[in-house]
Structure 1
């Protein structure tokens, strides 16, 4: 069920705003758009959102009143259609009729009583084409129920929200398969991707990110292994929904933002069949030794009257990376994407038990494993010499990431007068790190023993959600929820057999309440509470000899927080929205780092203040504008925590330690988009400043380090449709200079750099061919993380020019 859309004053005519100027000024273009088949990717959901997406993806002008389509859902469309055919399929059985007033201009109205129903036609699929637009209409971005804890189609939250569609993702995958890089290229506020197996240092708004797959948490906050962006292959992803800033709707972990990966689904029409295959080859340009990579993926889907199934396989092998000057890039003990293989097996089975009742089971197994063909030769950050790789074998086993998950979802469209959703999940994760002469006894030099660690985490949990719309015939919507979680984590040294981090179990049971209310046609108010009550259980343990073999008494400290959120969206007119919000996010500090680094006797887990929760207060105001040709959004935010979690490098142990100080981050984010005929231009900017209280005297006296906060960034793109078959995208990213000080003394600095990427796509019937060039100018630079981290082993160059050729077949 959906939120009631306000009447005449809120007839935002989102598709009209998107295409009106084009149709008036470019009739020939509109006529072509109206008659030519285009590649469409429209997920099942609210009819209003589907019509808006159709207008954006096809370039037509589509006129309708928001209240005429309110409360209606549309099937998914995935394939190649003319706009006329696509409209017929979306409107089938809806009691609505369409009229083509002129080439490229369609009007949707209520069907007259005598008008025949729009006939239903079987779905079809064909080759993929590049996205013509990813702009959001003025109706605001809506996200799925697994992200917002509201039924799909409910009003969007009053926060900055980014949704990356399948065409957005496919466009970026023409350059490479790293999900972090996809996010970084599309979201200026996201820290630059490290292109490593570890996403350590990839943050938003100066804080950590909660990664989810279909609403199931992937992050391991008890011992943050920084591998949570590598738990599923991109071939299995339908879209990615991102909420910027702290939010507690999904519980523990979302202090900087939420990234929810929505997996692929079966075709929407009974009897439909889907086949999607991808093959690609990549190599440095000019070619270097052992630099090539190969990738292949296949996904099939079928839907019957009661059952539907989608399943996929993916495999990838990556070669050695090289920088802009032809040097090999150094290997990282935390794990690498280069010189690695990955594989993914995915399946989702759905059963429509009865009218309005659905059961769904999803299973996923993903593994990313280093090949261990190279050794690192440390660089020197003082002289600017980067770390490189040379052939050789490292002792012990190579780094590895393995994630296995099982999710069961049940939904009832009409239960207790509302919509009910239930989810149960299990996630088992293992992250193995590379071997090094990091001796647990503290020996150094030639006497140091080789060892390696493995982070092991298993999660079991459930989410229950009951939502009601139009309570007592008002415009009030209510959602109640109850979440349960058990997260058990420990970190072991594989060679010595000692526990570096003792087994730690976090259990919580958290109710939540969320309200949406429209007091007028122009104003939406939202508010909610989440009560997070958790218990942390740690047994007695002894720290490593390296830390003095301290005996620590275990305990069961409890923690609880009431986390509010409230906000408002003001629909000023048909082109302009304004919103404001306050929300709190909640997590625990990296408990593993705290427990393993205790260096004093007589400590008890129950009395460690370092285990107190991290609560982030996020305040945000923003504007959104869309007149059909030009669109833009701008947001200002602050994020504060009285007891933050700051990572400080400790050269004595060659690792980062957690320090608990007050922190404050403030920033500005903006995105601008302009459509000119068959061209689309975009500009994005994000700026963030973060400070913390280094000497715990009540004053914020030091800069957050680069591992905690992203650089200020400017992004730009130019998309061009040259013919109905050929399109290109040129994109640029510039990271600005930044200095870092500790109580007034400069401790690090970052030198700016700019990179360019190019993507070209040509479609031919059910086939599509792509050419991607990453770092088009072959720019030589040192990565942001490496420049701002004072460590010779981690002083890495960014990747140089890479050519990727791809082929896709869709049926």
Structure 2
């Protein structure tokens, strides 16, 4: 039962790189090479592992995208952050927020689950989004993206799944790569200098292989289009994109046999951000306040991740089996924000130690079984399995006192999926997954704290008040759901597929944020809070999608429309520091088109629209626009082109547009207006026997504009970075 693609794993990455271009995305950095590969290997099948089993893209009733390593490199030249690549290349993903955090970034207005080699990197129960910025782009072989609600990997993927597949050694003997990227703003070359260096080395001998990746990243100051330095923490404790020193080390070992394979992957990340000055959140846009030195500890990341995958083929001559194990241990420290309108809580006795530290441990086991049932019905296939997950989450201030209920959660799930052809034209599939979580919220005492005085009326009144020390009782809460998916693909001819699908996603909300902000009836005295009264309900998202894929050697097109609903959507109100759940609807459309105009010239566009409403005041009418931190710019577009001169020299250019947003009046007033943005990026590359060179600039017109996604997170205007020049050198051996 071991497929051709699975049986030739030594060349799987090469096959994917050669065939992804016509079926999902042209490799903008090497279109001519991809075109030659298409002509030689038109019958090759692209497989996607983000769906638990290897699938042909043409058989999936939903939007699927695969981004190859050449395109990843071309999209992260200046920043060294794959978030910028995903923001421009994935239609449903938010525009880049240019920080170390993923705050404000979502997928089709909902949560996204980040995986590395199938293992989760997003933290459950308490969100602190740093997953993407911590991944070395030069260690990536490809990125697989599945749009829309999905429960295939369990909790969290209500908007989509992004699965990052790291490199393996493909060539016999030793192979490797060294890459260095430097970039700077002409405003202050020395202080704005970014340096990103990556080293990859691999070794393969017959059935065994090993690969090691290392990265060093150091970022300097950032300046907007007017030359003003951008705040080092522009989005309230999330951390910025400057002053980062990061080390990333990963390794992979594997064995490939006829009966079984095993791969073990481990990753270590260390990151600190140096912040010199506090941010003034009262200015528009937010700005650095050089009169106030930063008083807190540096934002920090210390994470360790390991996962192992075992594949067994033709077990008893009946089915293939996969067992996946993972363990993550992360410490994530946020930036210090003084007591202000931006941070209305400062814990006593030392308000300068009010920053928070998140500790997250995750472990899990996934089993997947795949059987072909041709004896029952030609082409019938059954996939089934079960999952177990464990999460241990706590959040403290630096002296160790808890500010959320320490939580431990055990999750269990079983699933089954059936797919079958109907004649020669149609394929259908359907599945069910039952999920159950057992959550234990421990008792804790939340420290007393200073808050702005809510009774301030006269100049003589005190500016602050003290809320009491609140005791939270322990509680147990169970979450369970049974979710479904059903869809089909019509292969109208060998170039055109039309698909329609329904899928559900399941998510346990950010429970920690509820226990952090819950208050007794009189918050200014010591009190007791029953945790079971404030824990949120689980979220089930229904996603409907209709689309088409058209692929030839010269043109690749994917278009889709979607509509998603939820009765328990979660929204955070920064003004009141409260978290609300209410009914909501989101809809949108996406277009991804790539073309080869001739042997030298390629071009394409990525277009996306989304909008959403919710029942904010719970009157039964969905007549308020969803907050900006859910939608951001409803319309975004990336238009790009590249030209190869045939002598190793090529040019690339792109324009990125965001529509901004003027939300209508809701239950709590108008949404902050988000301004339209337009950014031009350009680069040139030269491939030689001595190595590959790439140079260019982002925001080449040095446009002064709003960072839409960062602004949307807290409804405080944040400027986008101005022009930045970069130079990259890569040597493969």
Give TM-score, length-normalised by structure 2: 0.88
User: Which residue does the alignment assign to 1:325?
Assistant: 226
- Aligned CA RMSD, in angstroms, stands at 3.1
Q: 1:777 to 1:532 in 2, by over 3 A?
A: same
Q: Is 1:784–2:725 an aligned residue pair?
A: no
Report the Cα offset of residue 193 of structure 1.
Answer: 1.1
Greater shift after overlay, 438-447 or 400-409? Answer: 438-447
Q: Secondary structure at the match of 1:750?
A: coil
In the other structure, the counterpart of 1:732 is: 655
> Alpha-carbon deviation of 1:741?
3.1
Q: Alignment partner for residue 261 of structure 2, among 358, 361, 365?
A: 358
Contact 2:186/2:724 (<8 A) preserved: yes
Q: In the alignment, which residue of structure 2 is the partner of 1:282?
A: 183
Aligned to 1:516, what secondary structure does the other structure show? strand
Correspondence 1:412 to 2:316:
no
Residue 797 of structure 1 pairs with residue 719 of structure 2? yes
Please tell me whether the aligned partners of residues 706 and 784 of structure 1 are also in contact (alpha carbons under 8 angstroms): no
- In the alignment, is the contact (CA less than 8 A) between 1:2 and 1:154 conserved in 2? no
1:702 equivalent in alignment to 2:627: no
2:360 match: 457
CA 1:657–1:289: 2 relative to 1, 3 Å:
farther
Find the counterpart in structure 1 of residue 428 from structure 2: 525
The structure-2 alpha-carbon separation of the partners of 1:260 and 1:50, relative to structure 1 and needing over 3 Å to count, comes to: closer
Q: 1:465/1:296 Cα in 2 relative to 1: closer, same or farther (>3 Å)? A: same
**How many Å separate the matches in 2 of 1:407 and 1:790?**
35
Query: d(CA) in 1 for partners of 2:217 and 2:126?
Result: 28
Could you tell me which residue of structure 1 aligns to residue 12 of structure 2? 45
Look up the match of 1:591. 511
- What CA distance in whole angstroms lies between the structure 2 residues aligned with 1:213 and 1:389? 38
Q: Distance in 2 between matches of 1:788 and 1:554?
A: 35
Distance 2:656 2:25 in 1: 28
Q: What are the within-5 Å matches in structure 2 for residues 165-176 of structure 1?
A: 165-176=68-79
Q: What is the CA–CA distance in structure 2 between the aligned matches of 1:643 and 1:467, rounded to whole Å?
A: 34
Unaligned runs of 5+ in 1: 6-41, 60-78, 88-103, 110-136
CA distance in 1, matches of 2:19, 2:714: 49
Q: Secondary structure of 2:61's partner?
A: coil
1:307-326 alignment runs, 5 A limit: 307-326=208-227
Indicate how the Cα distance of structure 1 residues 260 and 401 shifts in structure 2: closer, same or farther if over 3 A, else same: same
Q: Give the equivalent residue in structure 2 for 1:429.
A: 330
1:496-575 equivalent positions in 2, closer than 5 A: 497-546=400-449, 548-575=468-495
Residues 192-211 of structure 1 mapped to structure 2, 5 A cutoff: 192-211=95-114
| Counterpart for residue 524 of structure 2 | none
Aligned to 1:235, the other structure's residue is in SS state: helix
Which residue is equivalent to 1:403? Answer: 303
Aligned partner of 1:494 among 380, 398, 413 = 398
What does residue 564 of structure 2 align with?
A: 639
Q: Which runs of 5+ in 2 are unaligned?
A: 450-466, 521-526
Query: Equivalents in 2 of 1:288, 1:378: separation in Å?
Result: 27
Q: Partners in 1 of 2:346 and 2:601 — Cα distance?
A: 62
Measure how far apart 1:335 and its partner are: 1.3
1:256 counterpart = 2:181: no
Question: Structure 1 pair 621/2, CA: closer, same or farther in 2 (3 Å)?
Answer: farther
Deviations 1:752-773 (A, max 9, x none): 0100111211000251001131
Aligned to 1:297: 198
Cα contact 2:2–2:314 (8 A) shared by 1: no
Residue 667 of structure 1 and its aligned partner are, at CA, apart by 0.6
Partners of 1:3 and 1:154 within 8 A in 2 = no
Structure 2 vs 1, CA of residues 287 and 697 (structure 1 numbering), >3 Å: closer, same or farther? same
Choose the corresponding residue for 1:469, options 347, 364, 372: 372
Q: Are the structure 2 counterparts of residues 43 and 637 from structure 1 closer, same or farther at C-alpha, using a change threshold of 3 Å? A: farther
Match of 1:763 among 687, 699, 711: 687
Would you say how many aligned residue pairs link Structure 1 and Structure 2? 695
Counterpart selection for 1:682 from 604, 619, 623:
604
Distance 1:44 1:587 in 2: 37
Distance verdict in 2 for CA 1:668–1:769, change over 3 Å: same
| Distance in 1 (alpha carbons) for counterparts of 2:696 and 2:78 | 5
User: Could you say if the C-alpha distance between residues 694 and 288 of structure 1 is closer, same or farther in structure 2, counting changes exceeding 3 Å?
Assistant: same
Q: Closer, same or farther in 2 for the Cα pair 1:162/1:716, shift >3 Å?
A: same
Structure 2 matches for 1:128-207, cutoff 5 A? 142-144=47-49, 147-151=50-54, 156-207=59-110
Shift of 1:108: 8.3
Change (3 A) 1:54 1:676: closer
- 1:563-583 per-residue CA deviation (whole Å, 9 max, x = no partner) reads 101100111122221101111
Query: Which residue pairs with 2:455 in the alignment?
Result: none
Secondary structure at 2:73 match in 1: helix
**Counterpart for residue 645 of structure 2:** 722
| Residues 390 and 410 in structure 2, CA contact (< 8 A), matched pair in contact too | yes
Distance 1:412 1:286, change over 3 A: same
Deviation at 1:806, TM superposition (A): 0.7
CA distance in 1 between counterparts of 2:57 and 2:552 reads 23
- Distance in 2 (CA, whole Å) between partners of 1:463 and 1:4 is 24
Contact 1:218 1:231 (C-alpha < 8 Å) held by counterparts: no
